[in-house]
Structures are given as C-alpha cells and as structure tokens.
Structure 1
Amino acid sequence: MSVQGISPSKSRVETIDRLSPPKSLKRISYLIGIIQYYSRFVQNLVKHTGFLHPLLRGRIKFELKSQH
C-alpha cells in the first residue's frame, strides 16, 4: 500500500514470473488460483487466462501449446 494505491508485492510477482509451465491439470489449477488472487490488479484478467479454463473442464485434451 502506498500513496498511489494498492499494488502487488514485487517479490511475489517475480515468483509467479519464474514458475515453470504447468505440465498437469493440477498445476494449471494451482496457477489459476495464484493468478486469481491478483485479479484485482489486472483488468480483464479472463482475456489473458480464459484459455486455461477449458483445459480444466475436460472440454479439450490437455496439451500445452505455444498459444498457452
């Protein structure tokens, strides 16, 4: 918190940046959970993460591609 408002901790954002790509549905779920925590800081977050949700619902085969 500062005069400019509320912002995420730089060290936590760096931790998210260093995460390796998920290789399982469990890891995708974990990643989405972490990202959702910071949703208040990212407008239209679903535009950036929405492509991950169908992987969890089993609508498409789990296979990460460059688009993910």
Structure 2
Amino acid sequence: MITLLELLKDDPELYVRRSVVNNLNDLGKDHPQLIAELATNWLKGADTNRQWVVKHALRSAIKRGDKGALTALG
C-alpha cells in the first residue's frame, strides 16, 4: 500500500490527496512509527500540497501525542 501512496501523494487532484491522507491516518493507528518515518521523508523538499498531506495524515497521531509524529512536524 505504501508504494501506491508514494505514487499518489503529489497527485494534482485534491480528492486523490485526501484519499492518501485518510489511508495514512488509518495506517498510523496501527503503525505510528512507520507513518512518522514516512512523514519525515515526505517533508524533505515538500511543496505546500505535500505539507498539507503530511500534516493531515498525522492528525490522529498528533492528538494522541505520538512523539514520532510531533518530531516529524518539527
């Protein structure tokens, strides 16, 4: 699934990026460290659209106070 999300994270269509966000958010509930690492990598050289994707994908992790998610966002 991560491979597919990697391909779609910068899609020009908002509904596709929202789908990426929702999939990552769900995945992060069971694998928070994986999502934190992915977010850190995706934020390198990220434009505003990808920054939005990462921030919203981490929304549940941030609410839980997940250290990896908070570190990824700085």
Q: Which has the larger radius of gyration?
A: 1
TM-score range, shorter chain: 0.3 to 0.5
Q: TM-score, normalised by structure 2?
A: 0.34
Q: TM-score, normalised by structure 1?
A: 0.36
